[in-house]
Amino acid sequence: MADKKGAFVTEITPRSEDFSRWYLDVVRRAELADYSPVKGSMIIRPYGYAIWELMQQALDRRFKATGHLNAYFPLLIPESLLRKEAAHVEGFAPQVAWVTQGGDEPLEERLVVRPTSEAIIGMMYAKWIQSWRDLPMLLNQWCNVVRWEKVTRPFLRTTEFLWQEGHTAHETEREAEEEALRMLGVYKDFAEQELAMPVIEGRKSESEKFAGAVHTYSIEALMGDARALQAGTSHHLGQNFAKVFDITFQARDKSVQHVWQTSWGLSTRLVGGVIMTHGDDSGLILPPNVAPHQVVIVPILRGNWQETVLPHAEALRDELVAAGVRVKLDARDEHSPGWKFAEWELRGVPVRLEIGPKDIEKAQVMSARRDTRDKAAIPRGELVTRVQALLGEIQHDLFERARQFRDDQTSHAASYEEFKTTMDGRPGFVVAPWCGDAACEAAIKTETQATIRNLPMQAADVSGTCVRCDAPAREQAYFAKAY
């Protein structure tokens, strides 16, 4: 774990002392990721990638259950193609990386390293879609994208990151809107059921929406430092890209119409979100559903333990693995059990099982929860059922703990002075009336660093005036400082 200067991360900065430093310590000390030679890029190490793989599998099951198919599109996009949709290219221009030379030859046309794939997919949809019988077209791709970020942080914001991007085409506006909302619901279900991360779903303001979209919807989570994290977005693109790329089809009435489109994406930033939602001063706390090892078995080293204890530990492992539990048996003899306890706590393994000579005599196994550190003896004959129940309890309890934290960190502000005072500390979500004016929204951001994270899906009756100006309020907005 040494960096270029030879430093070694041996301790984790307390969260209360420096949350940002704590986060970086956990990422490196738990061997989730490391820095690459390219500024702003990260190397995802096996343990971090294993978490992403479990997220990917859980999402992919949901995508396929809703009728989506996986495909793959090129990394490089011709400049002329990207520039076809003006709002889209303007939104991404500051973050675009360009390829100008291939081998020793300058390119006749610059190529974009994809920041997203609406342009190339739009071109292909124009070729593939001819009739209403070709619709809906429901595709997703798992890939990497590049956005030249100025300020980066492992997982949360990096120059290159992994994600999935769904792209769909539909006959009608209503179907596209239903799709955008359906996939937002898939994201919410995934975040809450798999990551134990409670989220607030809603729509973005005009200034915060995706470049080229008619509507953008998102799920927003609250991290342990009371800052918001945009966890996933779903965009109703309308016919903007369809008209630019001439994606038309012969309708049921024989007329020629443009398709209605959506796109939606979720990325490796959610690995960072899991760290910041659940972690503590000892390191990671992983929800069992996305933990590479749900259980670690630590044999107690006594006497000739390899002949007396290890066979029992191996039997425990085999029994749990056969029941579908992801298990790590730590039989290393160069480290003490205490050292291993600390190491697997750092890595966030939900359940630790300890077995030694006394446990074998009593026909039991000692268990320890990572989230609460509660310890209990499990009768040997009840191992599988008790461990499976324990994993379910931990998954549930982590969600409830995070939900309670979010609710405790959500407040309402009726005046701008109250709003600014709240935003000075660790504010969480602050719900306040807003006039709907982009200039007012920009002023709030400048004056408080807070942005509108979401607007309620269903506009509620709002009375009174905007939290900042005297104009009539049109929305109840969720504001927060965000990553």
Residue 320's pLDDT is 98
Does residue 171 sit in the same domain as residue 30?
Answer: yes
Does residue 108 sit in the same domain as residue 254?
Answer: yes
Spell out the alpha helix ranges (H) of 66-146.
79-82, 86-92, 118-128
Assess if residue 396 is contained within a domain: no
End-to-end CA distance of the chain: 26
Does residue 85 sit in the same domain as residue 117?
Answer: yes
Residue matched to tokens 């609406």:
118
Using a 10 angstrom Cβ sphere, with 0-12 exposed, 13-18 middle and 19 or more buried, the burial of residue 358 is exposed
Report the DSSP pairing between strands 260-267 and 160-170. Answer: antiparallel
Please report, in tens digits, the pLDDT of each residue of the chain (483 residues total).
334 333 334 689 999 999 999 999 999 999 999 999 998 899 999 999 999 999 999 999 999 999 999 999 999 999 999 888 767 667 777 889 999 999 999 999 999 999 999 999 999 999 999 999 999 999 999 999 999 988 899 999 999 999 999 999 999 999 999 999 999 999 999 999 999 999 999 999 999 998 889 999 999 999 999 999 999 999 999 999 999 999 999 999 999 999 999 999 999 999 999 999 999 999 999 999 999 999 999 999 877 888 889 999 999 999 999 999 999 999 999 899 999 999 999 999 999 999 999 999 999 999 999 999 999 999 999 999 999 999 999 999 999 999 999 999 999 998 999 999 999 977 899 999 999 999 999 999 999 999 999 999 877 778 899 999 989 999 999 999 999
* C-alpha triplet 129, 176, 67: angle, nearest 5°: 70
Does residue 143 sit in the same domain as residue 238?
Answer: yes
Q: Count the Cβ atoms, other than its own, within 10 Å of residue 436.
A: 17
> By residue range, what is the domain housing residue 453?
410-480
Does residue 382 sit in the same domain as residue 438?
Answer: no
Assess if residue 284 is contained within a domain: no
Residue 10's pLDDT is 60
Residues 474/461, Cβ–Cβ less than 8 Å? no
Which one of 355, 389, 423 terminates a domain?
389
Assess if residue 5 is contained within a domain: no
Does residue 99 sit in the same domain as residue 244?
Answer: yes
Residue 4's pLDDT is 39
Residue 88's pLDDT is 67
Does residue 274 sit in the same domain as residue 301?
Answer: no
Residue 6's pLDDT is 36
Look up the CATH number of the domain holding residue 124.
Answer: 3.30.930.10
**Number of structural domains found in the chain:** 3
Q: Could you give the percent of the chain with pLDDT greater than 90?
A: 88
Does residue 108 sit in the same domain as residue 234?
Answer: yes
Q: Count the Cβ atoms, other than its own, within 10 Å of residue 148.
A: 17
Does residue 110 sit in the same domain as residue 194?
Answer: yes
Residue 2's pLDDT is 38
Question: At 205, which amino acid appears?
Answer: S
pTM: 0.94
Question: At 125, which amino acid appears?
Answer: Y
* Short-list 232, 226, 230, 224, CA closest to 188: 232
Assess if residue 37 is contained within a domain: yes
Using a 10 angstrom Cβ sphere, with 0-12 exposed, 13-18 middle and 19 or more buried, the burial of residue 260 is buried
Strand partners, 295: 327, 351
Does residue 253 sit in the same domain as residue 312?
Answer: no
Assess if residue 132 is contained within a domain: yes
Look up the CATH number of the domain holding residue 446.
Answer: 3.30.110.30
Does residue 180 sit in the same domain as residue 72?
Answer: yes
Question: At 483, which amino acid appears?
Answer: Y
CA–CA separation, 442 and 121 (whole Å): 33
Assess if residue 286 is contained within a domain: no
Does residue 423 sit in the same domain as residue 381?
Answer: no
